Amino acid sequence: PLPTALTIQPLDPVTVGEDFTIVAQLTSATGDIPGAVNNEALELFIDGVRERRTRTNFAGVASFPIRRFLPVGQYTVTVVYAGSRSLQPASATATLTIAPAVLEIKTVPALAGVTFSFNGQTLRSGADGVARVEVSTPGIYPLEVLPIERDDIRAEFSRWGDEIFTTAREVEIPEMKTLEVGFDVSYQASFSFVDLAGLPVDPKRITSITLKSSLGETRTLTSPGPEWFKAGRVVRRQNGLEEVPVQWSVESVIMGGTNVVNQFQQRFVLQPNDQRQIELLLYTARFTARDALFGFPIGEGIKLQYPDGSVEVIPFGPDRQAFVTSLPRGEYLVSVAGVPGISPASPVALSRDQEAELLVISYLDMAVAGVLVALLAVGLLLVGRPHLLTWLRLPVPSHGYRTAALAMTGATLVIVLTVFALGSGRAPAESTDTPLPVQRQAGPPAKSTTETGAINEDEAPAPESSPAVPTPESAVLPEEAIAEVFRAFWERNGGLSTFGYPISEAVEQRDPRTGQVITVQEFERARLEHHPELSGTPYEIQLGLLGYEDAASRGLLDSEPFQRREPAPEDNEDCTYFWQTGHRVCSHFRAYWRSRGLE
């Protein structure tokens, strides 16, 4: 008989409870595969115990499927060929390792220190966010997420990766090797405030802060924190669980009864122990006061009524001017304090750095006006009444008494008109856009007033401490605030009815899609973007992808309504299909869309 050789293919470790196959091959002693090795019987022994018998194929290969349970450990595998009339016997030996099953529990997002109870054993996730446990016996085991106790984060159980939504569940070993568990996380955040120059603003001046999340949650705070905010939620994707960051935007910051931010313009995603800085729309104003007729400086200071109704008296400095910084935008009433006369309250709409000149009707003005009016009355009275001159014991000219009376009357009228023309040349509370220095007027401390307007001489708070009443104010700006680069596009494509009023100034920012610096301005119904790299093309001015960005922030892009659809027959009737997005617009929406030049 010909000599033979028997080999066992290398055996990888086998997880306990899993089926596996041992493969052996019968060849000649030199490694050749003569045709005689086909259909030869081979026997398998594990630790000396006969397992099963099978025959080789045309290549001398025999497979031994193992279905029975083998405990964790190492085993000696022996394959024996008894030989035949033409082939000599042969055998081969190898070592089989049965390893424990390993269950990996992956936290999404990856969180360290999350504890689980597994069959009475406590597991804890490591720095990679994964908890591992070895199981020596197949079966069904209880598993539960335990409460998370961490100072820097709050994690609330959301779901398991296999459509189970309770913290306690069962897992089957070894079928379950990797299991995802998702958490909605919250972080602590506190807020600080700066003005447009980057200077800090006292948080005590803030009445309330209102924030809105991409999930639709609205939070109103009365202090700068720290407070807990939801920072991420878990959604299921095709390849498993995924954390979607929650985006927060500043809806309003109320100071002095007015909103001092542009709605939703400042957005952010929170990090653990976050410190967020909010920029406030605060401005500087310069006030002067002059006599209405003669133009000389007058008064001790200004009386400033804030949009919330609180009142502050600010004294003039040596240069007869009052500077006030960090004023919230809004409508103010300004009058002159400590004047010998009348100072009517003048409205000032503050939306940028401004200066205003206030006019005062002084007692001197009133006296001059009274004298002139009396002279005018006497002149008119004397016209046609020469006997009054006799009664007054004044000489009566023989000729031209009427002419003299008319001349006196005319001269008086000229004087009256000239004086009032000089006074009316200055408009009350005249405002300009002259840039102002960012500083508070140095000088005597300001006198605070009570809500009734009475001056309290014992207190001298700065304007930062003025009481504030939360009176929400719209962030809408006038049409004049539309940036020149957008004005033609705004007017040509429907203007107010299509885009609404501007709600922010034009700002530069980097386009995350192209990396280019673009100019952006927010409107009530749209966001306009100027792309300088497309200058001279129809795409220089574009509409921001607000719908897409909002859906992405809410994690909706993978949901069923947002999936692409194939065109349908009805698309040719009252609908238009867009291959760019795989969706259609129909009926009244299509008519409106077309009427705005968007096709």
Structure confidence by residue, pLDDT tens digits, 517-575? 899 999 988 999 999 988 888 889 999 888 888 888 777 888 888 888 887 765 566 78
State residue 457's pLDDT score: 34
- Which of these CATH numbers, 3.30.365.10, 3.40.50.20, 3.40.50.150, 2.60.40.10, describes 4-99? 2.60.40.10
Of 5, 56, 62, the closest CA to residue 35 belongs to 56
Q: Which residues contact 200 (CB under 8 A, 6 or more apart)?
A: 192, 193, 194
* pLDDT > 70 fraction of the chain, expressed in percent and rounded: 80
Q: 333 to each of 264, 290, 456, 496, how far by Cα in Å?
A: 29, 17, 20, 30
State residue 409's pLDDT score: 58
Question: 397 falls in which pLDDT band (50, 70, 90)?
Answer: low
Q: What average pLDDT does the segment 291-299 reach?
A: 85
Q: What average pLDDT does the segment 350-377 reach?
A: 81
State residue 475's pLDDT score: 43
Question: 463 falls in which pLDDT band (50, 70, 90)?
Answer: very low
Q: Please tell us whether the domain made up of 286-468 is placed in CATH 3.40.50.1970.
A: no
Residue 572 φ/ψ, nearest 5 degrees = -85, -5
Q: What average pLDDT does the segment 12-27 reach?
A: 93
In sequence order, the β-bridge partners of residue 586 are: 575
Question: 477 falls in which pLDDT band (50, 70, 90)?
Answer: low
Residues 150/120, Cβ–Cβ less than 8 Å:
no
* Rounded distance between C-alpha atoms, residue 286 and residue 460, angstroms: 20
State residue 433's pLDDT score: 42
pLDDT of 56 above 70: yes
Quote the crossing angle between the two packed helices 401-424 and 363-382, to the nearest 10°. Answer: 160
Question: 196 falls in which pLDDT band (50, 70, 90)?
Answer: confident
Delimiting residues of CATH 2.60.40.1120 domain(s) in the chain: 100-280, 286-468
Of 50, 75, 78, 63, the closest CA to residue 24 belongs to 63
Q: Which CATH superfamily is domain 100-280 in?
A: Carboxypeptidase-like, regulatory domain (2.60.40.1120)
In sequence order, the β-bridge partners of residue 448 are: 312, 456
pLDDT of 155 above 90: yes
Give one DSSP letter per residue of 505-553, joined into a string: --EEEE-TTT--EEEEEEBSS-EEEE-GGGTTSTTSEEE--HHHHHHHH
* Rounded distance between C-alpha atoms, residue 300 and residue 221, angstroms: 39
Averaged confidence pLDDT in the chain: 81
Question: 387 falls in which pLDDT band (50, 70, 90)?
Answer: low
Among 97-106, 155-164, 582-591, the range scoring the smallest mean pLDDT is 582-591
* pLDDT > 90 fraction of the chain, expressed in percent and rounded: 37
Question: 425 falls in which pLDDT band (50, 70, 90)?
Answer: very low
In sequence order, the β-bridge partners of residue 331 are: 349
Q: Which residues contact 153 (CB under 8 A, 6 or more apart)?
A: 111, 185, 186, 187, 272
State residue 309's pLDDT score: 85
State residue 382's pLDDT score: 60
Amino acid identity of residue 139, one-letter, is G
State residue 590's pLDDT score: 82
Of 155, 165, 178, 177, the closest CA to residue 243 belongs to 155
pLDDT of 468 above 50: no
* Rounded distance between C-alpha atoms, residue 533 and residue 542, angstroms: 12
State residue 415's pLDDT score: 59
3-state SS, one letter per residue, for 472-486? CCCCCCCHHHCCHHH
Ramachandran quadrant class, 39 (left: phi over 0; alpha: psi -120 to 50; beta: rest): left
82-128 pLDDT per residue, tens: 988 888 899 999 999 999 999 999 999 999 999 999 999 999 999 99
Delimiting residues of CATH 2.60.40.10 domain(s) in the chain: 4-99
Residues 56/37, Cβ–Cβ less than 8 Å:
yes
State residue 177's pLDDT score: 92
